[in-house]
Amino acid sequence: MKILVCISHVPDTTSKINFTDNDTKFDTNGVQFVINPNDEFGLTRAMWFKEKQGATVHVVNVGGAETEPTLRKALAIGADEAIRVDAEATDGFSVAKQLANVVKEGGYDLVLGGRESIDYNGGMVPGMIAQLTGANFVNTCISLEIEGDTATAIREIDGGKETVKAKLPLVVGGQKGIVEESDLRIPNMRGIMQARKKPLTVKDAVDANAETQTAQFEKPAPKGDIKLVETVDELVDLLHNEAKVI
């Protein structure tokens, strides 16, 4: 089984979000980048398929050279090879088109992405890859088993879950649950040394115009001061008469 894990290179969850160039660009100054948490759950599940079912695992990112340390980290966690498509990741649809091309050329059986990336929260790349390549698609996946050419997956839905079966090739939008938090791996020294020697191929981008474009960023209005109260009577009164939410 050939697995491709899509890795989004995103600001660490504690990052301060600021913008430059008249609020048209994200300010990367002092920001630490990490593997998108939802993608890391998928990557960890891929390691399980590698170790238990002999799968080959490639990781891919669409982005500039600055994203390579994130790909190296994925290699240190255990992926066999990395691919970077040399294109600016401007919008979800164009990124999906780049990735769909990698999927077609590589003949992958399983593509693991995240439910959404924590930077632009688009939540569209895995679904678009599936539709562009004609593969099946399962989103918000919290359990994934593969036997032969058939996948059994559990998908989180609003208020419950749903079990689905689908044939490979399959694209999955993963999240916590596909593996547990405690299954996540911190690369060890040996992994880091090995990662330096593993192939990281830079691929030229295919033509794919952005379908949407950020014109301007805005920060939310600053929060007003909190009202501290002493008693539950005051609280219930304020929630009813002032906030009007009960």
Partner 1 sequence: MSVVVYTESEEGKFKKIAQEAVSYAKGIADKMGTPVTAVTINGGDTSELGKYGADKVLNVSNDKLDKFNAEAYADAVAQAAKKEGAKVVVVSSSANSKYMAPLLAVNLDAGYVPNVTELPESTEPFKVKHSVFTNKAFSITEFKTDVKIVGLAKNAYGVKENEAAGTAEDFAPELSSEDFSVDVVSVDKATDKVTIADAEIVVSGGRGLKGPENWEMIEEMADILGAATACSKPVSDMGWRPHSEHVGQTGKPVAANLYIAIGISGAIQHLAGINASKTKVVINNDPEAPFFKNADYGIVGDAFEIVPKLNEKLKEFKAQNG
Ligand X SMILES: Cc1cc2nc3c(=O)[nH]c(=O)nc-3n(C[C@H](O)[C@H](O)[C@H](O)COP(=O)(O)OP(=O)(O)OC[C@H]3O[C@@H](n4cnc5c(N)ncnc54)[C@H](O)[C@@H]3O)c2cc1C
Q: Give the burial class of 228: count Cβ atoms within 10 A of its Cβ; 0-12 exposed, 13-18 middle, 19 or more buried.
A: exposed
Which CB, 193 or 235, lies closer to partner 1?
A: 235
Rounded Cα–Cα distance for residues 100 and 97 (Å): 5
Give the residue closest to ligand X by C-beta: 13
Which CB, 2 or 176, lies closer to ligand X?
A: 176
Q: Does 92 bind partner 1 (CB under 8 A)?
A: yes
Q: Does 148 bind partner 1 (CB under 8 A)?
A: no
Which CB, 57 or 208, lies closer to partner 1?
A: 208
Shortest Cβ distance from residue 17 to ligand X (Å)?
15
Shortest Cβ distance from residue 37 to ligand X (Å)?
5
* Nearest C-alpha neighbor of 125 from the set 85, 161, 165, 176: 85
* Nearest C-alpha neighbor of 143 from the set 113, 111, 172, 186: 172
Q: Are 11 and 32 in contact (CB under 8 A)?
A: yes
Q: Interface with ligand X by CB under 6 A: which residues?
A: 13, 37
Among 42, 63, 78, 126, binds partner 1 (CB under 8 A): 126
Tokens of 209: 């115009």
Which CB, 37 or 63, lies closer to ligand X?
A: 37
Q: Does 104 bind partner 1 (CB under 8 A)?
A: no
Size of the site for partner 1 (CB under 8 A): 80
Q: What angle do CA 8, 129, 147 make, to 5 degrees?
A: 95
Q: Are 150 and 167 in contact (CB under 8 A)?
A: yes
Among 122, 191, 200, 205, binds partner 1 (CB under 8 A): 122
User: Within positions 15 to 74, which residues make up the interface with partner 1, using CB under 8 A?
Assistant: 17, 19, 37-38
Letter for the amino acid at 180?
E
